[in-house]
Amino acid sequence: MRSRQRMFAAVMRLLLKCLRLGRRRQFKLVRQVEQLWHYGQLCLHSLLYNSFTNGDVVLDSLFEPIYWLVDHVTRWFGVVFVALVIGLTSSIVAIVYICLLPLILQTYTPAWICWHLAYGHWNLIMIVFHYYMAITTSPGHPPQAKDDLTGVSICRKCIAPKPARTHHCSICNRCVLKMDHHCPWLNNCVGHYNHRYFFSFCLFMTMGCIYCTISSWEMFRDAYAAIERMKLLEKERLQVAANQTYYQTPPPSFSFRQRAFHKSVVYLWVLCSSVALALGALTLWHAALITRGETSIERHINKKERQRLQKKGKVFRNPYSYGSWDNWKVFLGVDMPRHWLTRVLLPSPHLPHGTGLSWDPPPCVTKQRTPLLAI
């Protein structure tokens, strides 16, 4: 009996020792995992730590693959976008000349005919001129030699001088003077030398689309009603033809020319109204930027700088803004009153003020702004 009790006690002691040993090993394994976890966090933090990191930097890093894909797609499909713009614009012009112009000449009074011919052709010339110049004109690039410029920063991507208001375009893979953005519809960057052409194209294209939308509103209503009537008559014709023999099938109610005319008018109105809304919003956005003396890129930079200085109780001043009216004069290159006609309302290939390397106030500026970023 005693031997059994001793054996049972020995077995229990052995089990207790095994449990204690298992717990010690378990606690030791947990401690090792915790140490590895903290060590990994420390390594990751030491490799990725940046005192300037914020939410915007994190979002930019997460969207970097998307930016890379968009840049490459835009680079290869730029020619397709340009061909699309030319094709759609040409189709609208063809519809106006083939379908609408004969109708205008037959029904309108001589005064209205002269108005449509004069305004329509002037608007078309301005659109074609500014689009061609925006595509073919280089936006401007800084010189590659480092000795040519002093007091400028160096671009981290192309390792070249980077004057004020210059930014690197990841699609063109070059620095652009006074870069606003890369426009896929131009297959070109919008910068110092073609910014005016780009905005003028947007403005006159919007005006042309609004003109076509308003002028063809009554024709659009009649064409849409005619198309609906065609569909109804087509159903009735098919129902009648189903109850007759093959030789008794009635001829079509509308000719091919009538169908093409009505559908062309509907296509013109829908396309012009859609472009007028989308491009009109973009034009208003750029007009607001020009009024403030900013580009699309500088708008985001100035916003962050304004918020940063506001926390310090300071006020941000844009050193490239000369006031709303003078900003427009500098942008359009208006030095004299007659330039509003010769350089704004008529096609003009005049160059902008300055070289894009330095930003001294041009002669047309009436008020000189203090060159301070903050006070």
Q: Which of 172, 199, 168, 173 is closest to 184 using CA atoms?
A: 172
CA distance 319 to 358: 12
CA distance 201 to 82: 13
* CB 193 within 8 Å of CB 139: yes
Q: How many CB atoms lie within 10 A of CB 298?
A: 20
Active site residues: 183
* CB 155 within 8 Å of CB 162: yes
Q: What angle do CA 334, 319, 291 make, to 5 degrees?
A: 45
3-class state of residue 13 by DSSP: helix
- The reply to whether 181 falls in a domain is yes
Total domain count, the chain: 1
Residue 155 tokens, joined: 């671009």
Handedness of CA 34, 37, 41, 43 (dihedral sign): positive
pLDDT at 375 (0 to 100)? 35
- The reply to whether 188 falls in a domain is yes
- The reply to whether 226 falls in a domain is yes
Q: Which of 274, 275, 94, 125 is closest to 185 using CA atoms?
A: 275
- Average confidence (pLDDT) per 10 residues, the chain, 375 residues: 64 64 62 80 71 67 69 76 95 93 89 94 97 96 70 78 88 91 92 96 97 92 87 71 54 74 93 96 96 93 87 87 92 92 95 87 67 41
CA distance 177 to 168: 9
Bridge partners of 277, per DSSP, are: none
- The reply to whether 152 falls in a domain is yes
Bridge partners of 161, per DSSP, are: 154
- The reply to whether 371 falls in a domain is no
3-class state of residue 143 by DSSP: coil
Residue 315 tokens, joined: 């006020």
Residue 192 tokens, joined: 């110092």
- The reply to whether 6 falls in a domain is no
* Helix or strand (DSSP H, E) at 206: helix 195-215
What Rg, from alpha-carbon coordinates, does the chain have? Answer: 35
pLDDT at 309 (0 to 100)? 87
Question: What is the residue-wise DSSP string for 87-141?
Answer: HHHHHHHHHIIIIIHHHHHHHS-HHHHHHHHHHHHHHHHHHHHHHHHHHHS----
Residue 291 tokens, joined: 């009024």
Long-range contacts of 225-229 (CB under 8 A, 24+ apart): 226/258, 226/262, 227/262, 227/263, 227/266
- The reply to whether 335 falls in a domain is yes
Q: Which of 196, 205, 198, 190 is closest to 277 using CA atoms?
A: 205
- The reply to whether 236 falls in a domain is yes
Range(s) of the domain holding residue 310: 63-363
Q: What is the reported pTM?
A: 0.77
pLDDT at 374 (0 to 100)? 39
Cβ burial, residue 213 (10 Å; 0-12/13-18/19+): buried
pLDDT at 314 (0 to 100)? 86
The 3-state secondary structure of 304-322 reads HHHHHHHHCCCCECCCCCC
